[in-house]
Structure 1
Amino acid sequence: MSIDFTAMYASHDAFRRDLERLAQAVAEGRAHTPGVRAGWANFTRQLHIHHTAEDAELWPRVRERLTGRPRDLALLDDMEAEHARIDPLLASVDTALTDRAPELPDLVRALTATLDDHLGHEEDSALPLMQDVLTAADWGAFTGRMRETQGLRGASVFVPWIVDGAGPADRERFFGSLPAPVRVLNRLFWEGSYRRKGLWAGVQDAF
């Protein structure tokens, strides 16, 4: 059974989009506004949930199926090492935002490059490997961990955050991967609530 990676790709796109918004805010001298700080706080939360679930539920399951495949095991080592390189960059950007440090632009560029390299590496190499060795049950355990961590309140932010600023085709593709009740909740309640939070307000109009 083929694994549907739609939500994974959509999450990656959302991470990239948020860092573009942060870089724009920094360049325009608006990195310390409430909307930008709220957007940054949500970005770091979403990335933490994403990477924690990968480290706890995804990479160990892949590793179990790679006996006698040293090259593929090395790829998993790379994935975990890349996560470890991202964490201190997140902390440095967070501190620089709080302190209004002059090195903030350089730190944002370093974080953007490091995260983009990791996401690209994962998409090009790790996702095909997962498609090859994981079962639907394995993937369900990973996505279940994500849902459990988010909870209903977290989902009410996660779903509209994914499609914030996305084009019609990307929105349709993502929503097509979700259960019908989630789509209804998002349309009736979640998107409106998300807009009112004002994440990245002043950087780019949401939706």
Structure 2
Amino acid sequence: MTAPQAPTERIVTGNHPDRINFTEMYVTHDSFRRDLRRLAAAVGAGRAADPRVRDGWRNFKRQLHVHHTVEDAWLWPRLKGLVADRPDDLALLAAMEAEHAVLDPRLASVDAALDGAAPGLPAEVAELTRVLEQHLRHEEEDALPLIQSVMTPADWRGFARAMARTQGPRGAAVWVPWITDGMTPADARRFLDRLPAPLRVLNRLVWQSRYRGRQLFAH
């Protein structure tokens, strides 16, 4: 049984009018971490060829692609405009983009090892996990405080809208139950309460059961 993915303190339900609420960013990061733990467990158990493991891996890659695409296309350019006269902050944003680029070959290496059932697959998964964790921590510890200091909640809602447009309705139908997968019931309720009522209804009636039926990573 997989441990809950997100500690309660990472899900903030209140929204101070002058501060950005990063709940969706944190729980998305935690979902990436959870999926890589599940992939490593599946590989270690000799289940890398299981179609449900491959489906979980494909979904992980898609979620990561959407997340980083919107950051690269919307978030980092917007921030660069706000800190144009601050070299240290510009260097941080350049590092964020460079770290995204470093992840691409790591994903390709895992793909190649999966396709060839290579003996180096566990090491490739471990290296991807290391590189992604390093990036997520860097973003959480340095980029999010910068965002909090120079952007407004209204700016952040623009980022959320860009993310929603990129996901689209079909993407949302996977993203919502993917986020709550592995959460404690209390944390799942607290997260879902942040969503518009129509999305909560769709998730309860359709999305959740459809997602569970896929048994991603066969965990």
TM-score, structure 2 normalization: 0.89
Deviation at 1:141?
Answer: 2.1
Give the structure 2 partner of residue 52 of structure 1. Answer: 69
Map Cα deviations across residues 8-35 of structure 1 (whole Å, 9 max, x no partner): 1000000000000000011110011011
Deviation at 1:84?
Answer: 0.7
Give the structure 2 partner of residue 199 of structure 1. Answer: 216
Deviation at 1:98?
Answer: 1.0
Give the structure 2 partner of residue 100 of structure 1. Answer: 117
Give the structure 2 partner of residue 174 of structure 1. Answer: 191
Map Cα deviations across residues 42-88 of structure 1 (whole Å, 9 max, x no partner): 00000000000000000011110103211111111111111011111
Partner residue of 1:27 out of 40, 44, 51: 44
Structure 2 unaligned regions, length at least 5: 1-17
Structure 1 outlier segments of 4+, above 2 Å: 135-138
Deviation at 1:178?
Answer: 1.3
Matches within 5 A, 1:3-152: 3-152=20-169
Q: Secondary structure at the match of 1:200?
A: helix
Coordinate RMSD, CA, aligned: 1.1
Mean alpha-carbon deviation: is it higher for 70-79 or for 39-48? 70-79
Map Cα deviations across residues 80-119 of structure 1 (whole Å, 9 max, x no partner): 1110111110011011111111111111000000000100
Is the Cα–Cα contact under 8 Å of residues 79 and 122 in structure 1 kept in the other structure?
yes
- The one-letter code of the counterpart of 1:136 is P
Is the Cα–Cα contact under 8 Å of residues 14 and 161 in structure 1 kept in the other structure?
yes
Q: Distance in 1 between matches of 2:103 and 2:179?
A: 21
Structure 1 unaligned regions, length at least 5: none
Mean alpha-carbon deviation: is it higher for 54-63 or for 165-174? 165-174
How many residue pairs were aligned?
Answer: 202
Q: Secondary structure at the match of 1:75?
A: helix
Q: Distance in 1 between matches of 2:105 and 2:84?
A: 32
Give the structure 1 partner of residue 206 of structure 2. Answer: 189
Q: Distance in 2 between matches of 1:156 and 1:71?
A: 39
Q: Distance in 1 between matches of 2:102 and 2:186?
A: 33
Deviation at 1:137?
Answer: 3.1
Percent identity over the alignment?
A: 60
